[in-house]
Structure 1
Amino acid sequence: MNTNVKVASRGIVINSVLRNTYQLLSATLLFSGLMAYLSMSLQLPHFGFLITLGGYFGLLYLTHKFKNSAGGILAVFALTGFMGLTLGPIIGSYTTAFSNGSELVAMAMTGTGVIFLSLSFYALVSGRDFSFMSGFLMAGIIVAFLAGIAAYFFAIPALSLTVSAAFVLLMSGLILFETSNIIHGGETNYIMATVTLFVSIYNLFLSLLHLLGAFSGED
């Protein structure tokens, strides 16, 4: 009887984390999109590599620090709003630099949505445990991140494209991993789960947009 109660309680907790995660994720995606639109409307310049990284890691630290309090919600919106602001100038550059820039952005957004929903649905329905991907994802993200820095500072287009392709795969894997982590009780904090999924979606979108732009046939 006690075992059944424990299992039922665990199921309630997992469902609560999953529900809260997707509710907060939906809200942060809308807020981030609004900030991106605002950034484009105001024609803000590119934030720059160092400012973007500094803002991201600084706000990520605050989110982690306050993840168990109401302050964590504010930190999540600050983080996702900031990332939306950095996204605006990037989207704007594609819509002006490419004759089909709006179509490229729409395709990247559609591809991101389809990949996220498909992988999330598969993880939820199959119930598979993807925790075995943890080490591979961590190592892959670190290597891809360092390679991306090298591609940026040394202006190596081929390496930059390789990094984008790698991030598409890595972020897809991270979506599977984090969704599985939630439904198997490995992640019990919906704030941090939201951040992980948001970052996956953000990087997936940017990587797809970069690849589509590179293979669009325009300089």
Structure 2
Amino acid sequence: MQNRETTLQHTGVNEAEVSKLFRNTYSLLALTLAFSAVVAFISMSLNLPHPGLIITLVGFYGLLFATSKMRNSGWGLVLTFAFTGFLGYTTGPILNAYLSLPNGGSLVAMALGMTAMVFFGLSAYAILTRKDFSFLSGFIMAGFVVLLCAVVASFFLEISGLSLAISAGFVLFSSAIILYQTGAIIHGGEDNYIMATITLFVSIYNIFLSLLQILGIMGED
């Protein structure tokens, strides 16, 4: 009887920890998405130039590394907003480029709507079914390698449809990460809300830009 009570009590604690992790993760995710959107709007309004590939990669991985190192301190939160704000800044010039197109406004609106549908749909599925998506780890690793090779190849080869294939690959890759990360929160594979937020944010960011590129390519005359 005592063992049963202990088990039930332990399960209750775990459920409470999972609920707290979900609240912290999605609260921070909402704040960072809003902050990134504000920075993107400022970047668009000031018509700031895109920092370029090298600065973007250095800023992305540098801030990501720093956030990971400081994830258990208050500086982790500061760096989280710095990281998401930086991505917002890099998004501003991209949005300006699309909005300059005749149908740019509808393309951006469609990409935003589709991104929201993908994220909330996958998150709801993972939460309601409470499935363990750890089996996706192999697919995610293989997908990362394939996409990396495809992106590098795109700099040297002019293959028709390669950009479209890469964008579609990023949508599938990021969707798998959303399922994997949400499942990890539920089943104890992730216990840090800052890293969970960063992972989900980057997935949403990649899905949005990839869908925007797909819609842009398909909308070309």
Q: TM-score range by the shorter chain?
A: over 0.9
Deviation string for 1:90-118 (max 9, x for gaps)? 0100111x200011000000000000000
Deviation by residue 1:37-94 (Cα, 9 ceiling, x = unmatched) = 0111111111111111110000000100000011100010000000000000001001
Q: Measure how far apart 1:185 and its partner are.
A: 1.0
Q: 1:161 aligns with which of 164, 182, 192?
A: 164
1:198 aligns with 2:201: yes
Q: State the match for 1:85 in structure 2.
A: 89
Partner of 2:63: 59
* RMSD of aligned residue pairs (Cα, Å): 1.1
Return closer, same or farther for 1:157/1:74 CA change in 2, 3 Å cut-off. farther
CA contact (8 A) 1:152 1:160 kept: no
Partner amino acid, structure 2, of 1:51: I
Where structure 1 has 5 or more consecutive residues not aligned to the other structure, the ranges are none
Shift of 1:151: 1.2
Question: What is the correspondence of 1:14-163 to structure 2 with a 5 Å cutoff?
Answer: 14-96=18-100, 98-156=101-159, 158-163=161-166
Cα pair distance change 1:54/1:156, threshold 3 Å: farther
Residue of structure 2 in register with 1:178 after alignment: 181
Work out the CA distance in 1 between the residues paired with 2:159 and 2:211. 18
Task: Provide the C-alpha distance between the structure 1 equivalents of 2:60 and 2:94, rounded to a whole number of angstroms.
Answer: 16
Which residue identity lines up with residue 124 of structure 2 in the other structure?
Answer: F
Aligned counterpart for 1:210 among listed residues 192, 213, 217: 213
CA displacement 1:100-151 (0-9 Å, x = unmatched): 0011000000000000000100100011111100121122023202312321
CA distance in 1, matches of 2:218, 2:147: 21
Offset from partner CA, 1:153-182 (integer Å, 9 cap, x none): 545452121110111111111111111110
Larger radius of gyration: 2
> What is the total number of aligned residue pairs between the two structures?
217
1:8 maps to what in 2?
A: 12
TM-score between the two structures when normalised by the length of structure 1: 0.96
Q: Which secondary structure does the structure 2 equivalent of 1:120 belong to? A: helix
